[in-house]
Amino acid sequence: MLDPVSLEIIWQRLISISDEMDNSTIRTSFSTIVGESHDFGCVLMDEVGNGLSQAKWSPPQFCTMLPRTARIILEKYKYQKINDGDVFITNDPWIGSTHLPDFNVISPVFYKKKVVAYVGTVAHVSDVGGHLGDLEASDMFMEGLRVMPNKFYEKGKINGIIEEFIASNCRVPDLVLGDLKAIVGTHKIAQKKIIELLSDYKLNNLKEVSNRIRNLSTEYLQKQISK
């Protein structure tokens, strides 16, 4: 069992990894809505999709919904093999995205040939086609492109069908795909850092860390509510 000091250090390292994802997203983004308006969030999750940490600057609505979206995607793919280099994508508002322009990008982290965590980003892209001025839309179909959970990358190679599908259904494909591919790049940074953390502390997974973080967080929240 991890001692309290080691747990706190690991916890803070997870937060710093989330922050580094955030900073890298800003530096590599193609659009101003991501790079300047900061309309995105970064989250680390355990192997079953429970939240572990989030970037300090991430909007709370993204950080609370992304783990739920991840768990739904994992349920969909439970009978299919998840490979190192896979990246999942969706903007379906019925499973987590607040509206169609918010794309969820989720990548598994492999260590010793097993999934030990997931890294995820929700980002508001520049365009998803549809009716200009989505406030006037009378239903979701007028708002634009809807991408159900799919593999955006498989074994490190981009899914050309999904790439073409997104590009052909938005007005600024260079900005949209540029941001999405940049996010995949930031996930690689986080994956490397998580593997380094596990190696440093001789851990095979993050199960204990996840359970204790969530238990401590629950206890603290309950104490604050009871005051």
DSSP string, 36-101: TT--EEEEEEETTS-EEEE-TTS-HHHHHHHHHHHHHHHHHTTTS---TT-EEEE--GGGT-SSTT
78-94, pLDDT tens digit by residue? 989 999 999 999 999 99
Domain boundaries, position 176: 4-226
Q: For residue 129, give Cα distances in angstroms to 81, 96, 124, 213.
A: 32, 20, 13, 40
Report pLDDT for 133: 65
pLDDT given at position 79: 86
- Distance between terminal CA atoms of the chain? 31
| The 87-90 sheet, strands edge to edge | 51-54, 40-46, 114-124, 102-111, 87-90, 150-154, 157-158
- φ/ψ region of 81 (left if φ > 0, alpha if ψ in -120 to 50, else beta) reads beta
Asked if pLDDT for residue 62 goes beyond 70, the answer is yes
Q: What's residue 134's pLDDT?
A: 56
Mean pLDDT (the chain, rounded) = 95
Other C-beta atoms lying within 10 Å of the C-beta of residue 61: 13
Please tell me whether the overall predicted TM-score, pTM, comes out greater than 0.75 for this model: yes
User: In the prediction, which pLDDT does 132 show?
Assistant: 75
The H-assigned helical ranges of the chain are 4-28, 32-35, 60-76, 140-143, 160-167, 173-200, 207-226
Q: Which two structure tokens, joined as six digits, stand for 57?
A: 């600057």
Per the CB < 8 A criterion, the answer to whether 18 and 53 are in contact is yes
69: phi then psi, degrees, rounded to nearest 5: -60, -40
What are the two backbone dihedrals, phi and then psi, of residue 128, each rounded to the nearest 5 degrees?
Answer: -130, 30
Q: Is 124 helix (H, G, I), strand (E, B) or coil?
A: strand
Q: Tell me the mean pLDDT in the region 16-37.
A: 98
Please state, in angstroms and as integers, the Cα–Cα distance from residue 227 to each residue in 49, 185, 217, 222, 224, following that order.
31, 44, 16, 9, 5
pLDDT tens digits for range 92-132: 999 987 899 999 999 999 999 999 999 999 999 999 998 87
To which H or E segment does residue 105 belong?
strand 102-111
For the chain, what is the domain count? Answer: 1
- State the Cα–Cα distance between residues 70 and 105, nearest whole angstrom: 9
Question: Quick one: pLDDT at residue 106?
Answer: 98
- Determine the pLDDT at residue 176: 98
Provide the percentage of residues in the chain whose pLDDT is more than 70.
99
pLDDT 10s digits, 126-171: 999 988 765 677 788 888 999 999 999 999 999 999 999 999 999 9
